[in-house]
Structure 1
Amino acid sequence: MKIAINYPDAHVGSDGHVSDHDAGSTLVRRLLRIFPGSLLIGDVPRSCVGFAVRPLELVDPAEHVVVNMAALESMSIWRALARSGREPRVMNFVWKNTSSITHPVERAAVALSCALFPTFANSERTAGEVHEIVDRWTIPALAEKADVAWVNLGIRLDHVLPRRDADVPVVLYPAIYLSERKQPQVFLDVVERLARRTPLRVEARLHESHLASETAMRLSLRDWAWVGPLTATREDYWAALARTTAFLATATEESYGLEYIEALVAGAVGVLPDRPWARAILPTSYPFLYRTTAEAEAMLYRAVTEPDACRREADVAAGGSFAQWLRARHSDDQFDAAVVDQVERWFGA
């Protein structure tokens, strides 16, 4: 059994590697590592480093299971492969909030896709959303047969570098997009007030599509802020996290929260909204969950002026070591094993 990955936004650079550092591209690289010799579905056939790019019409359904990262496309993938006369094997990999899909046609199509094809979700919260949309938008005969599995994505723990505290505390904007769901204006309002009270440096590393946005321009005009492109390599990314003092999360919803967990494991003090998605990734009594922007500012002030004391409080909330608590629950080793097991369970060895 071989794997063919469908991620329409994947970009392969001239060096033969999947480029970009968005969450989807990161997950494609992870799947390629977990399933060596996989195919990446693309327009033009190409040999790459450790994998090949092939158009969908060149994917053999007798040999390949399609891991589809765009659930809207599962039915069209199935129809295209079924023309061979063989039974296609397709599974969804849902790694985004289904609540972000608002158009009724798209919601119904995703619901039908997740009812018809086995679906692997990137967290318990996402799996719950999948069940909810299937129950609401399909008929009971389909909904009751939906096969949904999940595991937390986890992170590459071996990438974490030793801490190197900066001379001026660094506050990270913990996302690469300035979309409405991330509430960047809330972040900007809080750090702007905080910058009047204490020295700090805000860093925002953004996807190129958001670098020229109005919000990015406004932030870059502050003399205490740096706005730039994503780091060139994963090594540079983890080196930057190693000197990050704190971050302020402002998103209304997250399917998992990969960027936040990476920053927390690197030793940054995380100030997060008191929302179910944040509580799902943190100890029950985590001390830096805010309900108002005033609370966010007060917590972030402590995070940049007393980071060591804040880390000790997080340790207490975790029952000893917050770093070890995170490592035990958010290692990508668990994800790797779980996705392999599910593929074998659904489609055979």
Structure 2
Amino acid sequence: MSTIRSIIKGCGSYLPERIMTNADMARFVETSDDWISERTGIRQRHIAADDEKTSDLAIKAAERALDMAGIAASDLDMIVLATATPDQTFPATATSVQHALGMHKGFAFDLQAVCSGFVYALNTADNFIKAGQVKRALVIGAETFTRILDYEDRTTCVLFGDGAGAVVLEAGEGAGQPQDRGILASRLHSDGRYGDMLYVDGGPSSTGTTGHVRMKGREVFRHAVVNLAAVMEEILADVGLTSQDVDWVVPHQANRRILEGTAKKLALSPDKVIMTVDRHANTSAASIPLALDEAVRDGRIKSGDLLMLEAMGGGFTWGGCLVRW
């Protein structure tokens, strides 16, 4: 029995030129390269230029994804942009990207699920495609997260960086089997009871300010390993596969210890985990498409490979997507 599948036709990414190493950060924050790298695996992060907005990063990543896909922006039906750091409170940053790309039909909107944003956005676009409402979608994760950091809080400011990644989805036909190309299964979760463990202490209706990131690191770590392993097992069970069938895990790049802990819980080799946290730090909604694009372009991810994309973010939100490349 045939079924509609959302096939990833291309991917792209963009990182700002400015690089801040741990040693650079230690010049104005009470920290050290050893302290950061041992606890997180992070060695450097990219910082957006003063005149670079989230939309600027998103546009460059989108252009590269469209180029790989061989699809013109005018052929897109929708854009969904996952971000927790929009250009403005409104309009949606996605509409700025839409205008810059020259897409004057269809629709564009932002989606906010913090670090899980890209997985949520991918699932949203997939459902529009499966419902027959659109044929081609651009899904972007883009952040200028360093703009909401408190550089007097060394437990959080060392963790984050800026960047953007994007994928182009196109409707295709599958046989309804795990061997199909495209998105095979997704699961999304949230639990607002834990909202005070990872949050920003500001907003338009509360303080009238942007606010800064606040986090209870140990609690977040504990929940992340358990939740991410569980959601991956749920997704694999949905399609009758096991973790041993997965060729690559492309995770949210929060912390090396979380990535290693999740892989261990699923009995996965660390060699199957795409890891960029050492060079990109945590780029929130941008981290999965950044890692995906790197692994596709360097040849690790090949046609037919089975990928597990997974993330957890503030809220708590978490989820995953199983994709046949």
Give TM class, smaller chain.
Answer: under 0.3
The structure with the largest strand share of the pair is: 2
Normalising by structure 1, report the TM-score. Answer: 0.25
Say which one has the larger Rg. 1
